[in-house]
Amino acid sequence: MTGDDQDGGQHDSSTFREAVADARREAAAALARLAEAAVRYADGRIAEEITIDAAPGLPRLNRPEPGEFVADELSLLLRDQPYAVRCLLVGTRRLATGLPIVWEAFQCGEVDAEQIRVIDRVARRVTEAATLAAIDDQVIDAARTPNPETTPRLAAAIGGAAGAARLRRTAPPRISRTPRHRGTRRRRPCSPGSSPTITAGSSIPPNSAATPPPD
């Protein structure tokens, strides 16, 4: 193989690598568009059913709640189970509202579906807004790392961000103390008629307690 052939092979390899990376980003962005379209369909169907229920002259008895069967409808469109569709709707809404930076990265294809599942698995157990903001702010850098161990590293980064936010929230305030010189000790003044305070190292006169007062 000549030098020209080697250069051409390296050029083709880098081109193929970029093509694979582009296809991965496009696939991730397509999944984000699909999730967003499913949420819009669900919201639209719920709004339609609410409007129908509010119309006068229609009996309300034994009518299903608005959106009760929207997951079943979407399961036919997505060719998936209703339970998986419900998880898709809930997770998409949670990411879009609680983790807007992560959701935007998913729409751009910078994080894939597996990374989104890892992030959502941790985020759905978080109830504090400060912890969600810490996860949203720090997790994308770990998700963008081109490493085969990205998913474990991502989980560790999420746990670290959540723990740091929790520590900042629960740490007690620091109390400043006035420094005291070593070897000094405070003594309370004796009131008239009271016994003096005997401290460590002080000498006691012999037979002081048994000596009667002078006449």
| Percentage helix, strand, coil for the chain under 3-state DSSP, each rounded to 5 | 60, 0, 40
Q: What does the pLDDT read at residue 138?
A: 82
Backbone angles phi, psi at 153, to 5 degrees: -65, -35
What string of pLDDT tens digits covers the 215 residues of the chain? 455 555 555 568 899 999 999 999 999 999 999 999 999 999 999 999 888 877 776 666 667 888 899 999 999 999 999 999 999 999 999 999 999 999 999 999 999 888 898 888 888 888 888 888 888 888 887 777 666 455 556 666 676 665 555 555 555 555 555 555 555 555 555 455 554 444 444 444 445 444 555 55
CB count in 10 Å sphere of residue 131:
21
Taking the C-alpha atoms of residue 170 and residue 30, their distance in angstroms, rounded to an integer, is 40
